[in-house]
Amino acid sequence: MSAPDLRPALEAGVRALGLSLPDAQIDQLLAYQELIAKWNKVYNLTAVRDPAEMLTHHLLDSLAAIPPLLRQTGGQPVRLLDVGSGGGLPGVVIAITCPQIEVHCVDTVLKKATFIQQVAASLRLPNLRGIHARVETLTAEQGGGYDVVCSRAFASLVDFTTWSRSALKPDGVWMALKGKHPADELAALPDSVSVFHVEPLMVPGLGAERCVVWLRAAS
C-alpha cells in the first residue's frame, strides 16, 4: 500500500483527533512512514510491517498526543526530549506537526539515532536531531535542559523519570505515553515525582486503551 492509498485514512484520523494539518505536513508524515518501511528492512526499527497497521499503531498513535502536548505548552516554542525514541515515535511526529518545538530524539542504539538524522535531512526538519547516548548522561547544564521529556513504551514510570531527571529543566514536565492506566507504576513512584494529570487518549482505528501521564519533579 503506497502513500497515496494511505492519505485518506491519515487525513480522516487527523480530523478525528481535532487537528488541522496543512498538506505539506500530511506529505511529510507519509514520507516519514515510507522512510521507516525502507530502513526497517535493514535496521529493524519496528516489528510492524503492514502499512495500514503502521499508520494506525505508529502515526495516529503518536498524533493522538499532539493536542495534549499543545495544551500543556500553550503552543509556545519549547525544547522536547524523546527518550528511547527508536524509529522516532513520537519525536519525529511532534517535529513535523509542531515546527515551533525543538525535538531531540535520544537512543542508545547508534543506527536508530542515525535514522533520525536521516529523517531530519530527508524531510528538511531543522527542529529535529538524533542523539546517540544514554539518557542518564544528558544533563540540563550541558544543553540548557528540556521543557518536556517524553517517552512512548520506553520503560516503567519510575525508571523513565529516574533516568531522565538530569535532562529535565527545574520547571519542566514529563510526558509518558502509556497503554492502559498504569496504576501499579503510578503507585511505585517516589515522593520526589508528582503526577498532576492522567489523560485518556482515543486513537482513531485502534481498539486499545491509551493514555498520557503528566508528571513533574515535586517541590
What mean pLDDT is predicted for residues 111-131?
96
Task: Assess contact for 199 and 50: CB atoms under 8 A.
Answer: no
What mean pLDDT is predicted for residues 40-64?
82
- State the pLDDT at residue 53: 80
- Counting other chains too, the contacts that 208-211 makes at CB distance below 8 Å and 24 or more residues apart are 208/179, 209/179, 209/180, 209/181, 210/61, 210/64, 210/177, 210/178, 210/179, 211/177, 211/178, 211/179, 211/180, 211/181, 211/182
CA 116 centroid distance within chain = 12
Q: Which residue type occupies 96?
A: I
- State the pLDDT at residue 40: 82
- State the pLDDT at residue 106: 95
- State the pLDDT at residue 85: 85
- State the pLDDT at residue 86: 83
Indicate the pLDDT class of residue 4, thresholds 50, 70 and 90: low
- State the pLDDT at residue 142: 59
Reported as a single tens digit per residue, the pLDDT across 126-174 is: 999 999 999 999 876 656 799 999 999 889 999 999 999 999 999 999 9
What mean pLDDT is predicted for residues 82-98?
94
**Is residue 192 over pLDDT 70?**
yes
pTM score, whole prediction: 0.94
- State the pLDDT at residue 143: 60
- State the pLDDT at residue 116: 95
80: domain CATH number is: 3.40.50.150
**Is residue 2 over pLDDT 60?**
no
**% of the chain at pLDDT higher than 70:** 94
**Closest by Cα among 134, 133, 141, 131 to 91:** 131
Task: Assess contact for 216 and 173: CB atoms under 8 A.
Answer: yes
Give the other-Cβ count within 10 Å of 130's Cβ.
Answer: 24
Give me the number of domains the chain comprises: 1
Q: Which residue type occupies 37?
A: A
- State the pLDDT at residue 9: 95
- Residue reference for cell 481535532: 18
**Is residue 87 over pLDDT 80?**
yes
> Domain range holding 63?
3-217
Indicate the pLDDT class of residue 37, thresholds 50, 70 and 90: confident
In which region does residue 98 sit, left (phi positive, over 0), alpha (psi from -120 to 50) or beta (all else)?
beta
d(CA 21, CA 34): 19
